[in-house]
């Protein structure tokens, strides 16, 4: 039996935005103290909903254009539920079926 390797890449980018992707907490990857830049939204407290960061969307589209990507005219985020020890909220907000930028 022969197998054909299929290799997928998951590529992440860290945008230099003033606030986080889904709340107004300061985006400071150099913060040395734990639990400083957090709020009920980014800790997924019951009753909270994420709000998209327009600056991040603008920079994502700008990056996509620089990489010659197709920019979607319509896109949305999905909630991917799974257990992971360092993910106490139990889900990740992701783009699966309609990414903003694609090749
Ligand atoms: Zn927050």
At residue 89, the pLDDT reads: 84
Span 70-89, pLDDT tens digits: 999 999 999 999 888 888 88
C-alpha 22 – ligand 1 centre gap (Å): 7
At residue 96, the pLDDT reads: 85
C-alpha 80 – ligand 1 centre gap (Å): 19
C-alpha 78 – ligand 1 centre gap (Å): 18
C-alpha 87 – ligand 1 centre gap (Å): 15
At residue 88, the pLDDT reads: 80
C-alpha 70 – ligand 1 centre gap (Å): 30
At residue 70, the pLDDT reads: 96
Which residue positions in the chain have pLDDT lower than 50? none
At residue 26, the pLDDT reads: 97
Neighbours of 17 (CB within 10 A): 17
C-alpha 50 – ligand 1 centre gap (Å): 9
| Residue whose tokens read 């290799």 | 7
């Amino acid at each position: 039996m022969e197998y054909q390797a299929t290799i997928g890449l998951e590529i992440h980018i860290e945008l230099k935005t003033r606030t986080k992707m889904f709340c107004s907490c300061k985006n400071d990857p150099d913060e040395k103290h734990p639990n400083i830049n957090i709020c009920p939204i980014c800790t997924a407290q019951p009753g909270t909903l994420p709000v998209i960061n327009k600056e991040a969307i603008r920079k994502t589209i700008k990056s996509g254009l620089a990489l010659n990507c197709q920019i979607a005219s319509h896109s949305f985020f999905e909630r991917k539920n799974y257990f992971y020890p360092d993910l106490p909220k139990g889900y990740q907000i992701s783009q699966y079926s309609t990414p903003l930028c694609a090749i």
